[in-house]
Amino acid sequence: MERPSKGILFLCVANSARSQMAEGLARMVLGDRVPVASAGSEPSRVNPWAIEVMREIGVDLSSHRSKSVQTIDPETVSTVVTLCAEEVCPVFLGGARRLHWPTPDPASTDESIPRDEMLARFRSARDAIRARIERFADEEGLRG
């Protein structure tokens, strides 16, 4: 099957957790049928908790890096999925279809949150995003 020239872009603010997990999950679910990327309006670093919970399901994010939405060529994107829930989502210029899947940010700078709770927060976000991607893949006829 020929790979489509335009793909899916997942956006959140820091491109550190939700959009990174969505990128990895979409690659897992969609394979090479659709190009997938992620970015943010204020890129930082890939969150170690995201790397850990994705590793649990066999998805390696350790080589991922946070990217700015400014670096994404609009000509390469047919669908933009924003994942912000309580913050302002990044803006993506271009003629892409826009979907909004609000997902609470599992990340926190509160060091008093126990490890088990942080893992639960990230697993919850991962699982919610995975369910949306699987539903999207089914609706779009993108499952192999």
Among all residues, which ones are annotated catalytic?
A: 12, 84, 89
Pairing of strands 7-12, 77-82: parallel
- Bridge-based pairing of strands 97-100 and 7-12 is unpaired
Element (H, E) at 116: helix 115-140
**Taking a C-beta distance cutoff of 8 angstroms, is the pair 142, 34 a contact?**
yes
